[in-house]
Chains A and B, each alone.
Chain A
Amino acid sequence: AQSVSQHNHHVILSEAASLELGCNYSYGGTVNLFWYVQYPGQHLQLLLKYFSGDPLVKGIKGFEAEFIKSKFSFNLRKPSVQWSDTAEYFCAVNERSSASKIIFGSGTRLSIRP
């Protein structure tokens, strides 16, 4: 069965620090990969997704993620975080076939010190 691992449950950074959140998945086939974000008091929303092409994907608010197939990883990065990046971040994966359900990781809570 597919699974997604986010090893960092809570990350605390100062503003302007660089960010990397880890995401590993277990599935041997072709996959789509997603990062969703939930800001305090807001809905879960898509940050970025990979489904084909360039393995380096750029999303909203300066975030990017790199799909490394050999490592089954899809880590999220941002070179310089802001206080407004405080949120919960979820990595997710599904099999690249029609109607395949998305499996979410357990999430990483990011706290930014102003």
Chain B
Amino acid sequence: EAGVAQSPRYKIIEKRQSVAFWCNPISGHATLYWYQQILGQGPKLLIQFQNNGVVDDSQLPKDRFSAERLKGVDSTLKIQPAKLEDSAVYLCASSLNSRGADTQYFGPGTRLTVL
């Protein structure tokens, strides 16, 4: 079974530039999550999709971050414009459904460095 795919794996940009990350979840998984993991901290949920609808985006900085999952499969997360404090690993995860006990499967992450 193929896992969660993410690209790119690494990205270095300057502040005020834009960047986009892509995620392809496990086939058949209805729920997709984007997390931000800052060095020394645990992952923090940015946004959760159920199919192509948003379930929770309460911690997404909407003035600069946006995400979409148009056809209920792949998803993109965009930052525009980036700030120094956005330097982090961005993790995508998926689960079969959004039941609380469902196991989340994580991708390898994208390490973003903002200079």
A-side residues, CB < 8 A to B, are 4, 32, 43-46, 49, 51, 90, 92, 94-102, 104-107
Do A99 and B91 touch (CB < 8 A)? no
Contact of A45 (CB < 8 Å), options: B44, B98, B99, B106: B106
Of B15-23, B35-43, B68-76, B79-87, the segment with at least 4 beta carbons within 8 Å of chain A is B35-43
Do A101 and B42 touch (CB < 8 A)? no
A104 contacts which chain B residues (CB < 8 A)? Answer: 42-44
**How far, in whole Å, are A98 and B42 apart by their CA atoms in the complex?**
22
**How far, in whole Å, are A2 and B42 apart by their CA atoms in the complex?**
14
Looking at A4, A90, A98, which has the most chain B CB atoms within 10 Å of its CB?
Answer: A98
Q: Is there a chain A Cβ closer than 8 Å to B104's Cβ? A: yes
A99 contacts which chain B residues (CB < 8 A)? Answer: 48, 50, 55-56, 98-100
26 contacts between A and B (CB under 8 A): A43-B3, A43-B107, A43-B108, A43-B109, A44-B43, A44-B93, A44-B106, A46-B103, A46-B104, A51-B101, A96-B100, A97-B100, A98-B98, A98-B99, A98-B100, A99-B55, A99-B99, A100-B100, A101-B48, A102-B45, A102-B104, A104-B44, A106-B40, A106-B41, A107-B40, A107-B41
